[in-house]
Amino acid sequence: MTEETMLGQAAIETEDHGDTVRDKRAWRKLMDSLLKDKSAFFGVVILFFVVVTAILAPVLAPFSPHEQLLSRNLRPPMWSDGQSIFILGTDHLGRDFLSRLIYGTRISLIVGFFAVFLTGSFGLLVGLISGYFGGKVDFFLMRLVDLVLSFPFILLALATIAIVGPSLTVLILVMSMRIWVIYARVVRGEVLSLREQEFVQAARSIGGSHIRIIFYHILPNVLPPVIIIASLYLGRMIIIEAGLSFLGLGVPPPTPTWGGLLSDGKVHLYTAWWVVTFPGVAITLTVLGANLVGDWLRNVLDPRLKSM
């Protein structure tokens, strides 16, 4: 018996509770595949730890991330000189490096998640409208997409931040300028084929409004690719945030960010290896976790999107 017919029967057997049973089954299928896929499981574990670290930063950090003491600057990590009380050493202003790293998790995740959410919702909306209405609306929106795609993103982002001034909000908005296009294109493509399907035609023939058809009938069917792109781009967003902070165009100091830590540390490359090593490890692990989860979601939800 195939999965679909099993689901179908389960739905029939329980009549009124069909939907919940179906949800439970889908959920269990997802969990089973997670337990089978070792790398996806690893990714989920990493992301879980990173999120917990961000939330519990004040509890986990052994020292204040801002407290400076120049007399103890650039102390090496605990294990390399054996007497330091700072697990990962200190930075050039004598601040505890581990605490700054822990607090840095917050900005990375906030920017990453917000940017992904913003781009996802905006791109989804544009894709839905463009694909559903077609014609002039579609032509105009797709030229807008072409325009955005034809800009060298980093240069434009730099120029915008330089003019408007760096802050958390500006950072999230600027990073979202480009990525929504990817959602818009994929969603539009899906909607183009969906709107010709029988269930949409049926909804239209019984007089369903555009809004109802778009949000009630089409939207649920385009959510899987949106979720997949979102999870695949979370890691990219975290890297871009770190890059902009590294260039001094991210969230302004003294707020600790991973990119900012690298930028501060770069000058001390020759004397203090830890200040340039650990932030990079933190970024890499987080992005790896996000990417592994993204790959897994894609494989489970929609293997057609392999080239993403």
Partner 1 sequence: MGSYAVKRLIQAIFLLKLVMVVVFLLLHMTGDPVTVMLETDATLEDIAEMKKLMGFDQPLWVQYWRFFKNALQGNFGDSIEHGEPAMGLVLERLPATIEMALGAFMFAVVIGIPFGCLAAFKEGSLYDRGCVGITVLIQAIPDFWLAIMLIMFFSVFLGMLPSFGRGGWQHFIMPAFAASTYHLARLARLMRSQMLEVMRQDYIVTARAKGLDEKIILMVHALKNSAIPIVTVLGLDLGILLGGTVIIEVVFAWPGVGRLVIQAISSRDFPVVQSAVFLMASGFVLINLTVDLVYAYLDPRISYK
The CA distance from 16 to 257, in Å, is 51
Is residue 242 near partner 1 by the rule CB under 8 A? Answer: yes
Question: In sequence order, what DSSP letters do the residues of 113-180 get, joined into one string?
Answer: HHHHHHHHHHHHHHHHHHHHH-HHHHHHHHHHHHHHHTS-HHHHHHHHHHHH---HHHHHHHHHHHHH
Q: Count the site residues for partner 1 by CB under 8 A.
A: 43
Is residue 252 near partner 1 by the rule CB under 8 A? Answer: no
The distance between the two most distant Cα atoms of the chain, rounded to a whole number of Å, is 78
The CA distance from 260 to 250, in Å, is 8
In terms of CB distance, is 52 or 154 closer to partner 1? 154
Residue 285 in contact with residue 293, Cβ under 8 Å? Answer: no
Is residue 273 near partner 1 by the rule CB under 8 A? Answer: yes
Is residue 276 near partner 1 by the rule CB under 8 A? Answer: yes
- With CB under 8 A as the contact rule, the residue among 147, 201, 212, 267 that binds partner 1 is 147
Is residue 239 near partner 1 by the rule CB under 8 A? Answer: yes
- With CB under 8 A as the contact rule, the residue among 56, 162, 202, 267 that binds partner 1 is 162
In terms of CB distance, is 5 or 150 closer to partner 1? 150
Contacts of 115 (CB under 8 A, 6+ apart): 172, 175, 176, 179, 237, 241
The CA distance from 111 to 213, in Å, is 33
Residue 294 beta carbon to partner 1: minimum distance, rounded to whole angstroms: 10
How far, in whole angstroms, is CA 193 from its chain's centroid? 27
The CA distance from 219 to 195, in Å, is 11
Is residue 101 near partner 1 by the rule CB under 8 A? Answer: no
In terms of CB distance, is 96 or 241 closer to partner 1? 241
In terms of CB distance, is 218 or 295 closer to partner 1? 295
In terms of CB distance, is 46 or 213 closer to partner 1? 46
Is residue 153 near partner 1 by the rule CB under 8 A? Answer: yes
In terms of CB distance, is 187 or 239 closer to partner 1? 239
Residue 34 in contact with residue 301, Cβ under 8 Å? Answer: no
Specify the DSSP class assigned to residue 250.
S
Footprint of partner 1 (CB under 8 A) = 39, 143, 146-147, 149-156, 158-160, 162-164, 235, 239, 242-243, 246-247, 262, 266, 269-270, 273, 276-277, 279-280, 283-285, 287-288, 291-292, 295, 306-307
